Amino acid sequence: MTDSFHCEQIPYSVLAAEYGTPLYVYSQQAMTAALNQYQQAFAALQPLICYAVKANSNLSILRHFARLGCGFDIVSRGELQRVLTAGGDAKNIIFSGVGKSCAEIEWALKQNIRCFNVESLPELERINTIAARLDKIAPISLRINPDVNAHTHPYISTGLKANKFGIAYQDAIAAYQLAATLPHLQITGIDCHIGSQLTDLSPLVEALERMLLLVDKLAALNIHLEHIDLGGGVGIVYQNENVPDLVTYAAAVKRLLAGRHLQLMLEPGRSLIGNAGTLLTTVEYIKHGEEKNFVVVDAAMNDLMRPSLYQAYHAIVNASQTSADELTADVVGPICESGDFLAKDRTIAAKAGDLLLIKSTGAYASSMASNYNTRCRAAEVLVNGAEYKLIRQRENLTDLLSPEKVCL
């Protein structure tokens, strides 16, 4: 049974009654189906699909993707520890991010990860120095900024000249030449990532074309690469976006890589988990203001930051048999900030006590959650058919206060 009021065969109301709200709920079958779409579209290229851990780093979700053969894209030591704890293979972990510390690099080298995606010349030299001290050879790929406009929200655009990520395209050859002189580095590949929530995938193809020009120039300089990493960024449907065409994208990639001995790597995150998640929340009050109406719920910006941060849209469905009349209202939480909203000017029928479902919250929801206003982070549940499991228990105030000490 699958409809808007069920996660697979389990009614959302059952989960809310058992675990309370706010509550993140994930469909295991939806995650598997999303990965299958990548595997089928790119089957001819046999890519290493590295799940982007930042999208949702719950250990059970990581274990699920590990069991399905995924590698992992990480951006911190904490994410590396999560992947290893969940049973991920270090040999299939790539370490991205602009600010890798000495301690993070050292620990990742000791775990024998597959590759560092290097984002600056100082990072190149830092990795070489640490590898020398450990008597290791560090596998590296350079993240090149292809200056391709992804046409996405500015906060999730990563491939333009003004972005902090990657090495400038015009500096790429010199950066590779420098890397080739550093004795404790092994150049293995080239990497790019131009942005997130792309529904038109043509900028990804343009980025690949620009990267392959560099690959050919490097080969002429006797710098030969083993892999090309096209990053992630494939979007999902939140409202009325076009469904990204993975088959057409894969066909274009296959055509451009024909005759080249480059292993393909991909770093999907949102597109594997985003539509698999739903945030459950209960209506506390209906408040009629002078200029606006408000549906006040028990979830807040600390549970779902995207609307406040990115002006993002999430569909909201009332899962209760409500007798309320429709109204136009902002759906807001209890946090003491005017920016604490989950939806603006939404037409909705709701009354106090109703259960609302905030859709497409599998990615960048729980992983971005905070304890602002000393709010406990929500529980998480994974559903598989007629079975469900608690995969993160709800925090309590003891959890929140125990690391702190009253010293005055």
Q: Please name which of 323, 333, 364, 391 lies closest in space to residue 22, comparing C-alpha atoms.
A: 333
Distance CA 373, CA 298 (A): 13
Rg (CA), the chain: 23
Distance CA 202, CA 253 (A): 11
- What count of residues does the chain have? 408
Give the chain's end-to-end CA distance (angstroms, integer): 57
364 is in an annotated binding site: yes
Catalytic residue among 7, 50, 336, 407: 336
270 is in an annotated binding site: yes
Give per-residue burial for 54-85: e unless 16+ CB within 10 Å, then b.
bbbbbebbbbbbbeeebbbbbbbbebbebbbe
Q: Is 336 among the residues known to form the active site?
A: yes
233 is in an annotated binding site: yes
Contacts of 169 (CB under 8 A, 6+ apart): 144, 145, 146, 147, 210, 214
Distance of CA 65 to the CA centre of its chain: 13
Tokens of 126: 């830092």
337 is in an annotated binding site: yes
310 is in an annotated binding site: yes
C-alpha angle 193-153-236 in degrees, rounded to nearest 5: 70
* 376 within 8 A of 394, measured Cβ to Cβ: yes
Q: Which amino acid is at 57?
A: S
Distance CA 174, CA 338 (A): 48
Q: Please name which of 216, 221, 238, 164 lies closest in space to residue 195, comparing C-alpha atoms.
A: 164
Binding residues for pyridoxal 5'-phosphate: 233, 267-270, 364
Annotated binding residues for substrate, written as ranges, equal 270, 306, 310, 337, 364
Residues making up the annotated binding site are 233, 267-270, 306, 310, 337, 364
Catalytic residue numbers, as ranges: 336
